[in-house]
Amino acid sequence: MDPARLDGLVPDHLGPRTRRIVLRDLAVPVDIGFHDFEVGNPQRVFVTVEVWLDEASFAAVDEVAAAWDYDFLRSEILLLVEGRRYNLQETLAREIYTLVAARAGVKGLRVATSKPDVYPDCAEVGVELSSF
């Protein structure tokens, strides 16, 4: 079916109110932690980034040039942690948050980091920053 045939059939009250891009549970090896056994021993950190975009920044046509760059999220996070040492997840989350918040078109943002291998009796420990 030609999607153009559906133009004008969706009532205004059912139009999208938010537009979100998600990078979920990117597994990144990070030298993080302040305990002696953590220093110099990279740990798995999961990073989740949810970006709410303004309408103009969300692809309205099926063309790569119109899309928000997903690769940016992944590659810039990997570059950010490469060769770095962090004492706290809070610092890592704040740096990722700032990196993404500075991009054009961002209306809302949530960044979460978690360390899944800290305790044997829980899934993960983490921090989260959000604009709402």
The CATH class that applies to domain 18-130 reads alpha beta
Question: What is the C-alpha to C-alpha distance for residues 12 and 67, in angstroms, rounded to an integer?
Answer: 24
Report CA 115 to chain centroid distance, whole Å: 16
CA separation, residue 93 to residues 35, 41, 65, 129 (Å): 19, 19, 29, 7
| pTM: predicted TM-score of the whole model, two decimal places | 0.88
Long-range contacts of 35-44 (CB under 8 A, 24+ apart): 39/85, 43/115, 43/117, 43/118, 44/115, 44/116, 44/117
Q: Where are the domains of the chain?
A: 18-130
For 9-53, write each residue's pLDDT tens digit. Answer: 888 898 888 889 999 999 999 999 999 999 999 999 999 999 999
